[in-house]
Amino acid sequence: MSNNLFEIVEEPIEINAIIKKVERREAGAITTFIGTVREWTRGKQTIYLEYQAYIPMAVKMLAKIGEEIGEKWPDTKIGITHRIGRLDISEIAVAIAVSSPHRKAAYEANEYAIERIKQIVPIWKKEHWSDGETWIGDQLENVPYESGRPNVKDVE
């Protein structure tokens, strides 16, 4: 993993590496958010997920979220890594680390980051359920698109 604060990666995410990026001697609090692949969603079983991203724009949008946070919580430092490709149950899809001199800002900025990721970062999740597959249509997971022609592989 590189030293870039905002990354889209294809390898497993190492949470310690993300924490390292935001550690500072003046920071007494670090919050992390780890989003993992959940097996059960409203009674439906996920077998695995596939994430696809418009990579250059996704990195740009993650950096934009970082800028927004820098304005709202000036003393914080944030790092975000999102993984794409095939992910199995319990694997880490996204990790967010925020350091801050005091804890309140670290919690708030962290939660803001994940909310914004679900709004503006061009990343898409395809659920492979036990009974079929669906591209998830929004972050509330209640607007699934109908599955397109299968076997057309993602290229990005």
Type of residue found at 111: E
Q: Which of 5, 9, 35, 133 binds its own copies (CB under 8 A)?
A: 35
C-alpha–C-alpha distance, residues 147 and 65, integer Å: 30
Applying CB under 8 A, among 9, 52, 70, 91 the residue interacting with another protein is: 52
Question: Is 38 a binder of its own copies (CB under 8 A)?
Answer: yes
The secondary structure of residue 70, as a DSSP letter, is: H
Task: Please tell me the number of Cα atoms within 13 Å of 114 on its side-chain side.
Answer: 18
Number of residues lying near another protein (CB under 8 A) = 40
End-to-end distance of the chain based on CA atoms, in angstroms? 20
**Among 54, 75, 107, 128, which residue interacts with another protein (rule: CB under 8 A)?**
54
- State the nearest-atom distance from the C-beta of 64 to another protein, in Å: 10
Residues 71-110 close enough to bind its own copies by CB under 8 A: 89-90, 101, 103, 106-107, 110
In this structure, is the dihedral angle defined by the CA atoms of residues 116, 118, 120 and 121, taken in order, positive or negative?
A: positive
Interaction site with its own copies (CB under 8 A): 15-16, 19, 23, 25-40, 89-90, 101, 103, 106-107, 110-111, 114
